[in-house]
Every structure is written in C-alpha cells, then in structure tokens.
Structure 1
Amino acid sequence: MFFVARATNTASGVGNERRSIYRKFREVDILDKKKTVTALKPGEDRAILLGLGMIFSSVMMYFVLGITILRSYAESAWTEEGVCVVLNSTVTADMNCSYNCGSDCWRVSKYPCLQVYVNVNNTGRISRLSHNEETQDASSECFYVPSCQKDSAQMHTMIMNISERLKAKQQVPCYFDPSEQQDTVLLTRLYDHIVVFHSLLWPSCMFIGGVLIIVMVKLTQYLSRLCEQIVKIRM
C-alpha cells in the first residue's frame, strides 16, 4: 500500500508539474501575442492614415484637373482631327505687344502678324489656321502670338521661320469644329486626349494605391481575428 500511495503521489506530482510548465508556456505565448498585437496596431493605424491621405490627395488632384485641363478639353469646339492643306502663309502687318522692363515698367515692341489659310480635308472649305486655343483667344487674326521681347527682329525671324516651315510641309494635321460654328482651325490643341490620359494617370495610381493599402490592412486584421477565434475553439 505504501508503494502504491507513493507511486500515486509521484504520478500526481508529475502531472501537476507538467500542467504548471504548460501554463507557464501558455502564459508566455499569450504575452508574446499581446506584445505583437500591441506593436502591430500603431503600424496598422499609420498605414490606414497613409492610405486615407493618398485617397484625399488624389481626390484633390482630380478636382484641380477637373476645373483646368478636363474643363478646357470638354469645352473645346475643335474636336475633329483632319488634314489641312496650306494655301497661303503671309505676313500682313506688325502687331504691338508690351514686355516687362522692370518694376512697374512696361515697354512696347512689335511682332509680325502671320496669317495662314488652309483647305480642310480637301473639301473646299477654306479656313484660317491658328496655333492653339490660347492663340485664338489672344488674337483673332494671327497664326501665332510670340512671347513679347525687346528685340523685335528676333520675333520677326521666328515668325518667318514658322511661315517657311508651313510652306514646306504644305499638308499639316489640324483640328476643326465639326459643327462649323468656328471659322478657324487649330494646328494643335492645348489638351488633347493624350494629355488628359497622362494627367489622370498619376492621381488614379495614387487613388488605387491608397485603396489597396486600406484593404490589405483590413484583410490582415480580419485574418488575425479569425486565427484567434480558431485557437480559442481548439482550446
């Protein structure tokens, strides 16, 4: 009986010792998990703030682009692209312009007014050619309005070089108004579809990146909670 009781006490002591060791390991494991969760939470919060900041910045960029580039692109009447045959390219007169010569100082210079007439798509429609929308708004007569400079001879040389290049090409791509409400045609557009695409590319990438960051953080948190629930069920 003595040996049986001693063996029983020994087995009981070994079992208690094993349970004590298991509890210690369990407590250490839980403590490590708590430390890990505590360490990860500030990083997750910063990642979410980064994603929200990227989304907010991209929305602001969309707003700025919407009232500048996209608005000009949508309101432009010259939407159709065609081929213009240069019929005439001549300098008609000298136009006055003013340039800045210092603080509260403006002086007058002159540049030649180049007028270019073209035949649009060989349809017999003769129109005046303008460089772009800004030139059309600045002057209703001249093909190109250079930046005003003190040296008028330099501006004259530049305009004459443009005239010679247009005469040499004879046919140039151009943009016209399909409704024919605008009598002029444009050589280039300030904002065409390529410019609009490149303008929207970076804010779109920033918006998608911000959304992906938030989705990844939320997915990580969901998987972490799911793993904790599975561990509790197994216990």
Structure 2
Amino acid sequence: MLLVARARHPSTSGGGGGERRSIYKKFREVDLLDKKKTVTALKPGEDRAILLGLGMILSSVMMYFVLGITTLRSYADSVWTEEGLCVVLNSTVTADMNCSYNCGSDCWRVSKYPCLQVYVSVNGTGRVGRLSHNEETQDASSDCFYAPRCQKDSAAMHAMIANISERLKVNTRVPCYYEPGERRETVLLTRLYDHAVAFQSLLWPSCVLAGGALIIVMVKLTQYLSRLCEEIGKIKR
C-alpha cells in the first residue's frame, strides 16, 4: 500500500505542475493578445497624427511662399524706411482726377475726385517732399495725397478730400516715413508694410510649422519609449 501511495504521489505532483504551466501559458497568451490589440489600436492613431503633422508643415510652407511673394516682397521693396516728423507747408486742391467705378455686369462709368497735393518739410532739415497717404496711393496717383474709392457720388468724394485738407491745416505736424537716400520726393504718412505687419504675417505660419513638428516629435518619442519599455520587459523576463 505504501508503495502504491508513493507511486501515485509523483504523478499527482506532475499533473499539478502541468496545470500550472498550462494556466501560466494561457495568461501569457492573453497578455500577448492584449498587447497586440493595444499596438494595433495605437498604430493607426500614430499614423494619423504623423499625417496631421506633415500636413501642418506643408501648409505652413505654402503660407510662407504666398507671403513671400506678396506681403514680404512689398515690405522688402519699400524704400520709405526712416520715420520722422513732417511739417505741412501747403495743402491745396489742384485739379479733378478721373476714376472709373463698376455699375453692373460689364459696365464701367467715369467719375471725378479732387486731387489734393500736400507738401511737407521733413525733420526740420529744409528737405521738402510731397506727402502721400501710403504705398497704394503712391502707386495709384503719385501727384495726389489720397485717392478715394471711386463712386458715382462725386460730391461725397469732394467732401471727403475737403475734410482731409482741413485736418492737415489744423494738425500741421504729422509723423511720416521717408527714403534715407533722398532720391524720392514722395513722403508717406503711413506704411502698409512695416515691421509689425511683417511680424504678424510670419507669426501664424511659424506657429503652424512649430505645431506640426511638435506633433511628429511627440509621436516618434512615444514610439521610442514604447519600444524601450518592451525591451526592458523582455530583459526582466
């Protein structure tokens, strides 16, 4: 009987060990399956995040290109870079200028506005220049201080120019921008493309570029840390 009992005991012990190994194997398979599901779920999200980052970078490059041929080019080509104080010497209406306005589909009509010429002295140096409102006015009508938006009611445009002339006669000292080389007679009252405009134009594309790069870096860092944790887990096992 004792021999029979001893003979049965090892077989029972071996069966329990096999069951424990089987249970451990099942848990191991479940753990690996969970990890595979997690990796499978994370990979499409990571791919979408990388595509988002690349799209943001591409959009910022396109924005840089558009700004480079518009705002930044106008800012670089502007010669009125020095800021000073101008004293109004003369402000008179010289003649009427023709302009055209849209009256419908393929319809254009002619109207008139007064040409206001303003001469100023720059920084008390004795340099006399013709004052213009901004770069667009200088390009549209180099002889006139301001070119209003053309409209049918010419009386309204005359009243607008008369109001500007009266203000310049009251406020004879105005800030202005002039060319340092004194090659141009024209002086600007305001600049459309100055340092602030250039900075604001570059701010948003720079933020989009930095955001896209940050997304890609964070995804790559997450992937690297995930691989590092997996390798550490393999070493511990």
Superposition TM-score tier, normalisation by shorter sequence: over 0.9
Which residues in structure 2 correspond to 1:181-200 (within 5 Å)? 181-200=183-202
C-alpha separation between the residues in 2 aligned to 1:234 and 1:2? 43
Residue 9 of structure 1: how far off its partner (Å): 2.7
- Counterpart AA for 2:95: A
C-alpha separation between the residues in 2 aligned to 1:202 and 1:4? 83
- Counterpart AA for 1:42: P
Residue 18 of structure 1: how far off its partner (Å): 1.5
Q: Secondary structure at the match of 1:150?
A: coil
Q: Which runs of 4+ in 1 moved over 3 A?
A: 1-7
Identify the residue that residue 127 of structure 1 maps to in structure 2.
129
Identify the residue that residue 40 of structure 1 maps to in structure 2.
42
Identify the residue that residue 64 of structure 2 maps to in structure 1.
62
- Aligned-residue identity in percent: 79
- Counterpart AA for 1:12: G
C-alpha separation between the residues in 2 aligned to 1:222 and 1:129? 62
Query: For 1:155-177, what per-residue CA distance to the aligned partner results, in whole angstroms no more than 9, with x for missing partners?
Result: 00001111112222211111100
Q: Which moved more, 1:39-48 or 1:57-66?
A: 39-48
Identify the residue that residue 180 of structure 1 maps to in structure 2.
182
- Counterpart AA for 2:185: D
Identify the residue that residue 112 of structure 1 maps to in structure 2.
114
C-alpha separation between the residues in 1 aligned to 2:236 and 2:54? 37
Query: For 1:89-138, what per-residue CA distance to the aligned partner results, in whole angstroms no more than 9, with x for missing partners?
Result: 11111111111222222221110111111111111111110011111111
Residue 52 of structure 1: how far off its partner (Å): 0.4
- Counterpart AA for 1:140: S
Q: Secondary structure at the match of 1:116?
A: strand
Query: Of 68, 80, 83, which residue of structure 1 is paired with 2:82?
Result: 80
- Counterpart AA for 1:191: Y
Q: Which moved more, 1:73-82 or 1:6-15?
A: 6-15
C-alpha separation between the residues in 2 aligned to 1:217 and 1:31? 23
Query: For 1:24-82, what per-residue CA distance to the aligned partner results, in whole angstroms no more than 9, with x for missing partners?
Result: 11100000000111111111111111100000000000000000000000011101111
Q: Secondary structure at the match of 1:63?
A: helix
1:12 is the counterpart of 2:14: yes
Residue 219 of structure 1: how far off its partner (Å): 0.7
- Counterpart AA for 1:199: S
C-alpha separation between the residues in 2 aligned to 1:29 and 1:165? 82
Residue 217 of structure 1: how far off its partner (Å): 0.7
Query: Of 141, 149, 152, which residue of structure 2 is paired with 1:150?
Result: 152
Identify the residue that residue 233 of structure 1 maps to in structure 2.
235
Identify the residue that residue 207 of structure 2 maps to in structure 1.
205
Unaligned runs of 5+ in 2: none
C-alpha separation between the residues in 2 aligned to 1:16 and 1:88? 108
What's the TM-score once normalised by structure 2's chain length?
0.95
Q: Secondary structure at the match of 2:130?
A: strand
Identify the residue that residue 95 of structure 1 maps to in structure 2.
97
- Counterpart AA for 2:98: N
Residue 182 of structure 1: how far off its partner (Å): 1.2
Residue 221 of structure 1: how far off its partner (Å): 0.8
